[in-house]
Amino acid sequence: MVDNFFYALSAVFQWQNILLIFLGTAIGMVFGALPGLTVTLAVTLVLPFTFDLSPESGIILLTGVYCAGTYAGSISAILINTPGTPSSAATAWDGYPLTQKGRSFEALSIALHASVIGGLISAVALIFFAPMLAKTALAFGPPERFALTFFGLTIIARVSGNSMSKGFISALFGLLIASVGVDPIMGVPRFSFNTFYLYGGIGMIEVFIGIFAVAEIFNQIGKRAEARVLSKSGTQKKIMRWKDIVPHYWTVVKSSVIGIVIGVIPGTGGSIASFIAYDEAKRSSKEPEKFGKGSFEGIAASESANNGVTAATLIPTLTLGIPGNTVAAIFLGALLIHGLTPGPQLFVNQGGLMYTIMISFIVANIVMYVQGRFALKWFDKIIDIPAGIMLPVILIMCLVGAYTISNSLNSVIVALIFGAIGYAMIKFEYPTAPLVIAIILGSMVEESMRQSLILSDGSGMIFLTRPISLVFFMLTVFVTFSPFVIRQWRKRNPKAI
């Protein structure tokens, strides 16, 4: 462990990697700050450009984008009442009223400090808990792996979006897409339509670019451009310092822990964490009446929670191979591209890389703080970049990024097709997270299921006679059916609510 730790330190502090962290945080900040452009989009666009880098450098770059993108969602939430990322919605409730009072700099400073503390606490949690969980997961055989991935998919489909059925349909289509290519056990081609390109399966990155980036471009083009009104008059350029956050210290720590706990649960994410933390901060505040009217405590709670999710969501991703959210799914994809299979074995075989990821989260948050302090005065300029300029830039990055995957137009065609599918999913309110995560987990689900059945001579009882897999199946049944049971119970006992 000590060797891995020192290896990671030397890897992260190479000057090239420090430069990559600076570059990643800058990209993340711009994307996170622009309304409509998400951190997922930023990470997706950067991913193809990590192919030529070493796994360490590639992951370090993605970490910078992820951390800064999550924080930067607060910038447009505070300045123009439009959250750059969904997880910053709660920040807008207090941030924008402060901007209207001419105190946007203080709001942005509080958001930056709270985000950095949340991110650092989350990184420490990753360092401590991930190796422990990985040790436990080493005991998992194919039946346990199948039960776990099945449970992960179910919970992601269950909690993503408003409709459980749509979540399941999305996950099933993801599994279907994952089944294209050569069968993992017998090696026969499936749904290849005698096309050489499809023998290798549908490329994950092309799908990510299509579903997240191209679909979002279509979505933004389809929306009518709204005139942004920014109240800049009388803005005080007062930047807060560490001592200014001391009164909110307990709120920040508590919200960061909420972010970590929520982040570990697959399928949840920054949005849920920030709303829960905001609600909890309001409940326990000495001045709850200020919430929604410009409370620094509210901003601190929301921002520390959504950044508390960032590293925590990688705990199940790296140890169990179950991505906590879409960005974690892309991280998983990045590891797979570099020939690394996420899961407990990764800690045994690639301990150095694992600690590099963990330490890069700490460094990325520090770099984010430095850049954030310098960039505060430029933020209102970033969010004023018109869509007519920004969208073509992102579109060309998508097309070029897709092309670089296979040096052919096949990948671009796949990205465009999935862009259209992703756009339809946005319009018909199908969540994209289950689809993407199912594409990543698809082969693992099928392989572990079939390996288990080979071990048991075809008997499905193998999943119910092993304690860990039984527990996961019981949890799956509980997660799937508990909403119906609760609904029926509420109908019959209206007074109990």
Partner 1 sequence: MLGAVIKRSISSIVTLMVGVVVFLSIPSQIVIIDSEGLSSVDARTVPYLITSLIIIISLIMIISESVKIRKEQTDTLEDKSSEQTNYVRVFLAFLAITLWIIALPYIGFNIATILLVASVMVIIGNCRWWQIALLSLILSVPINYLLANVLRVYLPSGSIFG
Nearer to partner 1, 183 or 244 (CB): 183
DSSP classification of residue 214: I
Least Å distance between CB 477 and partner 1?
16
- Cβ 417 to partner 1, closest distance in Å? 10
Tell me how far the alpha carbon of residue 10 is from its chain's centroid.
27
Find the helix or strand (DSSP H, E) in which 345 lies: helix 344-349
Tokens encoding 256 = 């960061």
Q: Which residues pair with 181 in a beta bridge?
A: 190
The alpha carbons of the chain give a radius of gyration, in whole angstroms, of 22
Q: Which is nearer to partner 1, 244 or 447 (CB)?
A: 447
Structure token digits, residue 179: 């089944």
Identify the CA nearest to 24 among candidates 73, 50, 70, 62: 62
CB of 380 to partner 1, least distance (A): 20
> Smallest distance from the beta carbon of 120 to partner 1, in angstroms?
33
Q: Residue 169 Cβ, how far from partner 1 at the closest point, in Å? A: 5
Among 33, 431, 425, residue whose Cα is nearest residue 215: 425
**CB nearer partner 1, residue 194 or residue 233:** 194
**Rounded distance between C-alpha atoms, residue 317 and residue 464, angstroms:** 25
CB 162 → partner 1: shortest distance, Å? 13
Q: How far is the CB of 462 from partner 1 (least distance, A)?
A: 11
Helix axes 351-375, 296-312, angle to 10 degrees: 150
Buried b (16+ CB within 10 A) or exposed e, 97-120: bbbebebbbbbbbbbbbbbbbbbb
Which parts of this chain interact with partner 1 (CB under 8 A)? 49, 52, 165-166, 168-169, 172-173, 175-176, 179, 183, 185-186, 188-193, 214, 217-218, 221-225, 386-389, 391-393, 395-396, 399-400, 403-404, 407, 409, 412-413, 416, 419-420, 423-424, 427-428, 430, 446, 449-450, 453-454, 457-458
Q: Which is nearer to partner 1, 132 or 221 (CB)?
A: 221
Nearer to partner 1, 164 or 253 (CB): 164
Pick 94 or 216: Cβ nearer partner 1: 216
Q: Pick between residue 191 and residue 478 the one whose CB is nearest to partner 1.
A: 191
Q: What is the DSSP string of 130-191?
A: HHHHHHHHTT--HHHHHHHHHHHHHHHHHHSSS-HHHHHHHHHHHHHHHTSEE-TTT--EES
Q: How far apart are CA 219 and CA 419, in angstroms?
A: 10
